[in-house]
Chains A and B, each alone.
Chain A
Amino acid sequence: EVQLLESGGGLVQPGGSLRLSCAASGFTFDNIGMAWVRQAPGKGLEWVAVITANSDITHYVDSAEGRFTISRDNFKNTLYLQMNTLRPDDTARYYCVKSWWLDNWGQGTLVTVSS
């Protein structure tokens, strides 16, 4: 069974940083591209970043370009999202998602950017 367990969310001040982690199990992690998708409170879904299986390609939504970094450790079966220079409009639940076709989702971790 595919399991994706996010952690690292919390309350941070504007301009601060957070690193999200996603522990993956139940599938061959190093064969699959991964993604982060977020959902602001009461809003729809927005993809944030994607990464290929071997980390050679990454893409970011325009609003995250230059501030967020997606990475992975295939030995630890873990996906990361380093978020810097956080803004109030980054407040959202962040979901770790398996594959670029978004076939399995974690339960998400809540990030709140507020002073």
Chain B
Amino acid sequence: DVVMTQSPLSLPATLGQPASLSCRSSESLVDSDGNIYLNWFQQRPGQAPRRLIYQVSKRDSGVSDRFSGSGSGTDFTLKISRVEAEDVGVYYCLQVSHWPMTFGPGTTVDLK
């Protein structure tokens, strides 16, 4: 199975400042068709997860443009351009390029 790692596991963020979350896979996420199925999810305290980003960099409907995804191969990044209070929570990456799908352990974002 593809192992997903995330760093840092805890990220104290400053309101109005940018934040960067990293996700790495144990093998390339380029599938046999040349696509990369790497998603990012946000889980606010006490809420269900919601998908923010799919296929590395595509934002889901209704997701703030403060969130952006990038990366290739085995290294991926979720960036928050200006952290807001509502961004507090746990962020998970997920790869669906290779079966079985696998989640990262999550990065907890809180406020300094």
Could you list which residues of chain A lie within 8 angstroms of chain B, going by C-beta atoms?
A: 44-47, 59, 61, 95, 100-108
The yes or no answer to B3 lying at the interface (CB within 8 A) is no
Interface on chain B toward A: helix, strand, loop, or mixed SS? loop
| Contact indicator A95/B48 (Cβ below 8 Å) | yes
Interface on chain A toward B: helix, strand, loop, or mixed SS? loop
Min CB gap A29→B, angstroms:
19
The yes or no answer to B94 lying at the interface (CB within 8 A) is yes
Could you list which residues of chain B lie within 8 angstroms of chain A, going by C-beta atoms?
A: 37, 39, 41, 48-51, 54, 60, 90, 92, 94, 96, 99-101, 103-106
Question: Chain A residues with Cβ under 8 A from B100's Cβ?
Answer: 47, 59, 61
Question: Chain A residues with Cβ under 8 A from B99's Cβ?
Answer: 59
| Contact indicator B48/A102 (Cβ below 8 Å) | no
